[in-house]
């Protein structure tokens, strides 16, 4: 499914493809960095949500089953998720690599992925590290306009303090999901479910820890340097 292509770049690692996974707790800036990496390496950023939506819209019999599950609000089983992943990673745009986001969620799923992508497997899993206290501050400092959806940050935007949207005059409030209790609950859940997975990738010498605190440009540069150092300069 992942057809190796010949590298025409001299003096660099011959890489047929670049297969990355990205991990990061909520508020770590994962979405921003994933978009930058995808653009830099010319590979698609594939998130679990996008995959499920694409499968549901595909019109295949399998896609119809996925749509049914999603419409009913049920959790998608491991088996169905495996089918979705296999289908998505088999698309032509993923032939030279991809950046997976939101899958795998368990060591068992990681094993499945390695089998699916055998013999090469995943090149690297990136762990974008931002301390819990930093993301708690970021998320709890977030305010949103109930009318137009613009987000503001406490300490940076006047509208976050005044409670009045600078764009539309609507009410600027803190969402229930963004309160400290809610954030800490989500972070604890993320930590307990993701730690075994990070250990799995670390144990297979496939984990790259990157400090996610700082300016987005600097973080992107250190991510790219880290990836190039570990697996070469990406697909040609």
Binding map of Zn ion across residues 170-209, x = CB under 5 A, - = no contact:
x---------------------------------------
Q: Which stretch binds Zn ion (CB under 5 A): 113-121, 139-147, 174-182, 221-229?
A: 139-147
When asked if residue 168 is in the footprint of Zn ion (CB under 5 A), the reply is: yes
Q: Does 148 bind Zn ion (CB under 5 A)?
A: yes
- Minimal CA–CA distance to 210: which of 199, 202, 201, 220? 220
Does residue 30 carry a catalytic annotation? yes
3: left (phi over 0), alpha (psi -120 to 50) or beta: beta
Burial (CB < 10 A; 0-12, 13-18, 19+), residue 10, is exposed
Q: Which of 155, 134, 159, 129 is nearest to 147 (CA)?
A: 159
Give CA–CA dist 18/83, Å, rounded: 21
Q: How far is Cα 22 from Cα 30, in angstroms, rounded to an integer?
A: 8
**Least distance to Zn ion from the beta carbon of 162, Å?**
12
Single out the residue of 12, 16, 4, 20 nearest to residue 227, CA to CA: 20
Question: Of the ranges 90-98, 115-123, 162-170, 195-203, which one interacts with Zn ion (CB under 5 A)?
Answer: 162-170
**In angstroms, what is the minimal distance from the CB of 167 to Zn ion?**
5
Among 167, 175, 185, 204, binds Zn ion (CB under 5 A): 167
Interface map 55-94 toward Zn ion (x if CB under 5 A): ----------------------------------------
Stretch that binds Zn ion, among 91-99, 102-110, 159-167, 222-230 (CB under 5 A): 159-167
Compute φ and ψ for 209, nearest 5 degrees. -90, 130
Q: Count the alpha carbons within 13 Å of 156 in the hemisphere toward its beta carbon.
A: 8
Kindly name the residue from 53, 105, 184, 230 that is annotated as catalytic: 105
Residues that bind Zn ion (CB under 5 A): 145, 147-148, 150, 165, 167-168, 170
Q: Which residues are catalytic?
A: 30, 105, 142, 175, 186
């Amino acid at each position: 499914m992942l057809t190796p292509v010949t590298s025409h770049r001299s003096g660099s690692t011959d890489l047929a493809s670049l297969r990355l996974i990205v991990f990061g707790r909520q508020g770590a800036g994962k979405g921003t960095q994933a978009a930058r990496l995808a653009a830099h390496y010319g590979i698609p950023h594939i998130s679990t949500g996008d995959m499920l939506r694409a499968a549901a819209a595909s019109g295949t019999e399998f896609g119809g089953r996925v749509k049914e599950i999603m419409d009913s609000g049920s959790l998608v089983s491991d088996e169905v998720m495996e089918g979705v992943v296999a289908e998505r990673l088999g698309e032509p745009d993923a032939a030279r690599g991809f950046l997976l986001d939101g899958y795998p969620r368990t060591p068992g799923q990681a094993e499945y992925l390695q089998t699916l992508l055998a013999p090469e497997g995943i090149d690297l899993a990136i762990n974008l590290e931002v301390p819990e206290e930093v993301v708690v501050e970021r998320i709890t400092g977030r305010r949103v306009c109930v009318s137009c959806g613009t987000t503001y940050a406490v300490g940076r935007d006047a509208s976050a303090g005044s409670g009045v949207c600078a764009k539309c005059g609507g009410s600027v409030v803190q969402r229930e999901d963004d309160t400290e209790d809610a954030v800490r609950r989500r972070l604890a859940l993320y930590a307990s479910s993701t730690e075994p997975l990070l250990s799995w990738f670390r144990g297979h010498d496939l984990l790259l820890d990157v400090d996610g605190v700082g300016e987005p440009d600097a973080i992107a540069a250190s991510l790219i340097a880290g990836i190039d150092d570990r697996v070469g300069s990406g697909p040609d």
